[in-house]
Structures are given as C-alpha cells and as structure tokens.
Structure 1
Amino acid sequence: MRYLKGYSLLLMASLAACSKSSDTTTLVGNWMKRSQYEGVARSSAASFVIDNKAYVGTGYDGTERLQDFWVYDVDLNQWTQITSFPGVARNGAVGMAMAGKGYVGTGYDGLNKLNDFYEYDPVAKTWTKKANFKGTARYGAVAFALNDKGFITTGYDGNWLKDNWKFDPTAPDATAWTQVESMNSGKRTDASAFVIGNKAYVCMGTANAANVTDFYSFDGTTWTTLNPIANVNDDSFDDDYNFAGSSAAAFSMKGKGYIVSGIKGGYSAAVWEYTPGTDRWVQKTDFEGAARSGAVGFSLKDRGFVGLGASSSLSLDDLWEFDPNAEYNKND
C-alpha cells in the first residue's frame, strides 16, 4: 500500500488504505514545533531518556565535535544544560538508558574511531567512566536497552558491521560486555533502531555504497527476520513501499515505531509508522521541519519528538513533536 501526500480526515485515509490504488490516498499526522535546543545546532548527537526527560549531547556542528549535554523537560517545554560529557568531543556516538542511568559511548573524534563508554547519574549529576566497549572502535552504530541490559550493534570500523554486544551495568568491568548473537545478515552503518515492548527493531542504513533493505527484531537473545522495507514482488508480501535510506531519526510510542526523514536518495521528509502485529508500515504526514540527516528521535510520556540534525552544510537546532493520529495543521 502506497500513501501519497495530502490531508484529510482519518476515516478517509482508512477507507483509501483498503485499495491498492494509491493516487488519491491521503496522509494523517501533525507536527508541532517545540522549544529549540539551547546548545549550538548540531547533527549526529547522542541521546537517552530517563524518567520522561530526554538527554541530548555531543555531535558535530559543521566545524567542531562537541561535548556539551542538555536535558529536555517535556512538561516545561524547556532545555537545561547539565554536566558536559567527560570523554573526548565526538559525533556518531550511541546513547541508551537503563535502571535510571544513561550511557554514551563509541563515536568519532575527527581522527579516531572510539570505544570508550560512560554512565550518567541524573541524581548525582555526574558522569562515570565504565569498561570500554569490547567490540571494535566504531561510529554510526545503534544502541538500545532491553530488560535493563544494553546492546550495541552495527556501525563502521573501517568495515560495515553486524556484530552485537550486551552490556550489564551491574557486572564488574571485566565481565560487563559480552558478545551475543549477531544480526542475521545485514551489515550496515547509520541504521535506525526503536524499542516496542520487549523487542528492539533495527532497519535502514548503508553498506557497500548501497542502502540496505532487510529489517529485524531482537528479543535480547535472538534476531528475527521481518518483511523488508523495500518493494517485494511476491504473493506473500504485496506491499509496494520502499523507503530504504540512512541516518534517519527513530522513536516509538503507543506500541508503534516511527522512522523520520534521513537520506533516501536525497534528503527525505517522509515519515513511516510500523505496527508489530501486522509487520507492515504506513506512511504518515511528512516531517514539517527541513528534511535532514543525523537527527535525534525520542519519546516522552508516549509523545514522539525529533530534533537537531543537518541539511546539507546547515546544522539545525529545532525540535518537533508528532501526533500520528491528528489532522495536519499548518498553523501550529
């Protein structure tokens, strides 16, 4: 099912979705501008969420790698600076949170691929160096947490990667990292990941100068191959969407996953919604900010947000909230 740009009531979109003919189908969803990030504009930042607050920092402003970190309070719609990241300034790092603490590591400092790893305590407001990531030093990986264990997978160390490493924050440094089952296929860098329930979902990215199309879920032990994110011409999978690309923002809310913007041939503003129960994607209203790569995505109180990133040589500092079921409103 292909969904093309336009605006109408949710009922009309639902009726149109019943037809394979897509020329008259309209999209649903509304973007609302929120408080701008108070640090300098940047792309390829790291982020994590603790207690319904989003922590965003590091990244690249087009000239320099960065170390500053900021926290976004959704109730106040306000950013506040916190203690800067203690490692070397970098972009392309990963971030994740588990058991009330945030974690940032790996990345690129402009000369070196990195494997150091740090923990942030929001109560003490301090960073602590943890055991180095045991995989190869890399950037462009993805990270996620399942059942208070962290995982880092994919990325680029001079080669495209698909290995997968588990981090146990309660274990001694010597045994904190364990290599676990690699992704079924699908080496890649600059992928996107989101978590729904007790599973992580990984898609998008590039390898061998091409966009990858395979898509997987991971339950903390085993990877499962899902339907691809590109055209498939067989009876078992007749949807004809194709949104393979890289450096897209991702988040989940209300039991569904979202992929926003990124590079898909050129810069794309497209937004795609994933439903685990059907293993299908539906296109939603385009992202209302400038199409971009290297943005961050996160959810707070079951509300989805996308911000920062770069459009060509321009670094960005805007923040947007998405309501996937609302009618488009250009005035908000």
Structure 2
Amino acid sequence: MRNFKSYSLLLIASVLASCSKDSTSTSKLGNWIKRSEFEGVARSAAASFVIDNKAYIGTGYDGTNRLQDFWVYDVSLNQWTQKALFPGVGRNNASGFAAAGKGYVGIGYDGLNKLSDFYQYDPTANTWTRKADFAGSARYGAVSFALKDQGYIATGYDGNWLKDNWMYDPTSNTWTQEQSINTGKRTDASVFVIANRAYVCMGTANGTNVTDFYAYDADQAQWIQLRPIANVSDQSYDDAYNFAGYAAAAFAMKGKGYIATGIKSGLSTAVWEYDPTTDLWNQKTDFEGAARSYATGFTVNDRGFVVLGTSSSQPFDDMWEFDPTAQYNPND
C-alpha cells in the first residue's frame, strides 16, 4: 500500500546537495524574500485557498499527527491569525480551492483511510459547513483549482493512480464528472491558474515521473495538451528541461506560472517559470529556503509565496515571497 509518511527515500548526499543554493542560481533572474513564519506547527501537505486577498492554510502532517487547525495570512500586515478548526478528521494531502467567496477543503488521507468528505468555509462567519461528499473515489494527492466560480478536483491516488476530473457547483452543491486528462495518470501533481485555464504538470505514477503537460480550458470544458516538461523530444526547446518530478509548490502571477521545490532526482530548490504565450519554461533563481517537498504555493495580489513543506524527516514553517523580475539579493 502506498504510504505518504515515507515521502521518498533519498540519499543523504542528494539531500545535502539540494539544501544549498545551486552554484549557478545567483546568475538567474528572480529574488526570494523571507516573510513571517507560519504561526502554527511546522507541517507539509497542507490544503489552501485564497479569498479577498488573504491566504487560508490548514490541515497537513507534522511528522507525527494529521492536523485540523486553519490559519489566515494577511499579506498587507505580514501576519498570521488562527481561524476555526477544520471540522473533519485531521488529514494530509487534502484539496482546497475558493469559489464564489467561500473556501472548500476535502478528500485527503488520515493515516489509515483515503477520504471523500468535503467542507465549505465562510470567511465572514468563520464557520465550516459540511457539503456533498466528493463524488469520485476517496483519494489523496489530487490537484484542485477553481475556474469561473466552479471548483475542480482531478487526478490523485485511491489505491491506483488517477486521471479523472470532477467539477463542483457551489450553487447546487453537486458534483459532475468532466473530461478526464487525455493521458498521464498521476498523483502529487502541481497546478496553477492563468486566466480561464488551469495548468496541470508534474506528478508521479507507477514509479515514474510524469512528463506530459495539460491545461484545462473552462470555456471549452476540455483539456489541451501542451509541450512536455522534460527533454523527451528531438526539438531544441526542451534541451535544458530537467524538472519532471512531484510534490512541488505552484503559483501564478502576472500572467505566468511557477513551479518551485519538490522531488526530482532528490529534494529540489529549483524554480521554473512558464509563459503561456510561448508554451515554454525558463529556469529562475533557486528557492532560497531549504530543499523540500509537499510545500504550499499561493498567490495574493499578484504576489507569489511558498510556505511549509518537509525534508523527509524535518517539517518546515518558514515562508518566502518570490519576485521573478528582481535581481538576486542574498541579504533580504
């Protein structure tokens, strides 16, 4: 049985190498700035959503316990505040999204069971309400996103690797199965949203890192295949691509998508930027914190952040903001 607690067995040398900045990282464009540490206990595989320019993050795994606490981050104050406890059982690898002014969290893994329960968070009342259970199979490690005030949960692991896609309608409190990803079953993939498209890449299945890359178009209600994220073609565009992996943080800002950290050949600090106008990736300055997996990425006011994660044995509570256009500054 696949067990999240094992994360990945990594060679010590690989971990130590990835914990320090790559020797060429300072020659790439982009700068990381350390922000206020997460105020709850350190953890990985947390769920998140953003409402009214505030990021809500909770649940996750601290290395011993699956958690229920939830916190909100106010970017303007650089401050965390605890909110109402998540009402379901503590879990890791749950899925979260925001739609129509409410937050939603569900599915995941409680250490014994794959889950399908699903809850709505009202930020005004600071209350949770149970909603219709996820209509797909109980799972964890799925991607989740919102487009046009509809929520989606896709892929994941239910004992098998998955590629199905389900839409949640907050108005009717119902789930509808939508078009599955054409190829590429996967778990622990990454997703970011630009305009009316959700971009899903990375992930792992059957012991192999997935290299295909898809966007889900809300207007067409279908998946569009994009260029692979690894050097698997005879063309020159992907000669420098080396970031197929899983358990990476993702966010989008200013019309571009970003993938940071995760597990590639080992724990990684690499950062890649995606331009949807060219369908090409460009490597940016490495993540300045310790190499990690299962971190959380989010965007507020076109500002991208990475928080939490684990080194396989050590959970983290630090948070970093990324400026993709700034020169690297080692002193901030």
TM-score w.r.t. the length of structure 1 is 0.91
Give the counterpart of 2:211 among 207, 210, 213: 213
Identity rate of aligned residues, in percent? 71
Partner of 2:28: 27
Partner of 2:171: 170
Q: Flag the structure with larger Rg.
A: 1
Alpha-carbon distance change, 88 to 243 in structure 1, aligned in 2, over 3 angstroms? same
**1:32-57 deviation per Cα after TM superposition (whole angstroms, max 9, x unaligned):** 00000000000000000001100000
Partner of 2:240: 240
> What pairs up with 1:169-188 in 2 under 5 angstroms?
169-171=170-172, 173=173, 176-188=174-186
State whether residues 4 and 27 of structure 1, in contact with CA within 8 Å, keep that contact through their aligned partners in structure 2: no
**1:213-240 deviation per Cα after TM superposition (whole angstroms, max 9, x unaligned):** 0000001211011000000332485543
> What pairs up with 1:58-97 in 2 under 5 angstroms?
58-97=59-98
**1:240-291 deviation per Cα after TM superposition (whole angstroms, max 9, x unaligned):** 3121000000000000000000000100000000000000000000000001
Partner of 2:155: 154
Amino acid at match of 1:263: I
Give the counterpart of 2:198 among 184, 188, 200: 200
Partner of 1:145: 146
Question: Would you identify which runs of 4 or more consecutive aligned residues in structure 1 move more than 3 Å?
Answer: 235-240
State whether residues 192 and 250 of structure 1, in contact with CA within 8 Å, keep that contact through their aligned partners in structure 2: yes
Alpha-carbon distance change, 110 to 6 in structure 1, aligned in 2, over 3 angstroms? closer
Q: Secondary structure at the match of 1:273?
A: strand
**1:112-147 deviation per Cα after TM superposition (whole angstroms, max 9, x unaligned):** 000000000001110000000000000000100000
> What pairs up with 1:45-124 in 2 under 5 angstroms?
45-124=46-125
- In 1: Cα distance, 2:193 partner to 2:239 partner: 23
State whether residues 232 and 240 of structure 1, in contact with CA within 8 Å, keep that contact through their aligned partners in structure 2: no
Partner of 2:134: 133
Residue 305 (structure 2) pairs with residue 320 (structure 1): no
Q: Secondary structure at the match of 1:162?
A: strand
Partner of 1:229: 229
Partner of 2:12: none
Partner of 1:279: 279
Partner of 1:43: 44
Partner of 1:268: 268
Amino acid at match of 2:291: A
- In 2: Cα distance, 1:236 partner to 1:331 partner: 36
Partner of 2:3: none
Alpha-carbon distance change, 235 to 266 in structure 1, aligned in 2, over 3 angstroms? closer
- In 2: Cα distance, 1:97 partner to 1:33 partner: 26
In the TM superposition, residue 4 of structure 1 has moved relative to its aligned partner by 7.7
- In 1: Cα distance, 2:23 partner to 2:224 partner: 30
- In 1: Cα distance, 2:23 partner to 2:238 partner: 17
In the TM superposition, residue 312 of structure 1 has moved relative to its aligned partner by 2.1
Q: Secondary structure at the match of 2:198?
A: strand
State whether residues 92 and 141 of structure 1, in contact with CA within 8 Å, keep that contact through their aligned partners in structure 2: yes
Q: Secondary structure at the match of 1:266?
A: coil
Q: Secondary structure at the match of 1:243?
A: coil
State whether residues 25 and 284 of structure 2, in contact with CA within 8 Å, keep that contact through their aligned partners in structure 1: no
Q: Secondary structure at the match of 1:269?
A: coil
Amino acid at match of 1:255: G
Partner of 1:17: none
Gaps of 5+ in 1: 8-25
RMSD over aligned CA atoms reads: 1.2
- In 2: Cα distance, 1:186 partner to 1:4 partner: 33
State whether residues 237 and 280 of structure 2, in contact with CA within 8 Å, keep that contact through their aligned partners in structure 1: no
State whether residues 93 and 141 of structure 1, in contact with CA within 8 Å, keep that contact through their aligned partners in structure 2: yes
Amino acid at match of 1:196: I
Partner of 1:19: none
Alpha-carbon distance change, 222 to 76 in structure 1, aligned in 2, over 3 angstroms? same
In the TM superposition, residue 5 of structure 1 has moved relative to its aligned partner by 1.7
- In 2: Cα distance, 1:231 partner to 1:75 partner: 41
State whether residues 165 and 181 of structure 2, in contact with CA within 8 Å, keep that contact through their aligned partners in structure 1: yes
In the TM superposition, residue 329 of structure 1 has moved relative to its aligned partner by 0.6
Give the counterpart of 1:5 among 20, 24, 38: 24
Q: Secondary structure at the match of 2:80?
A: strand
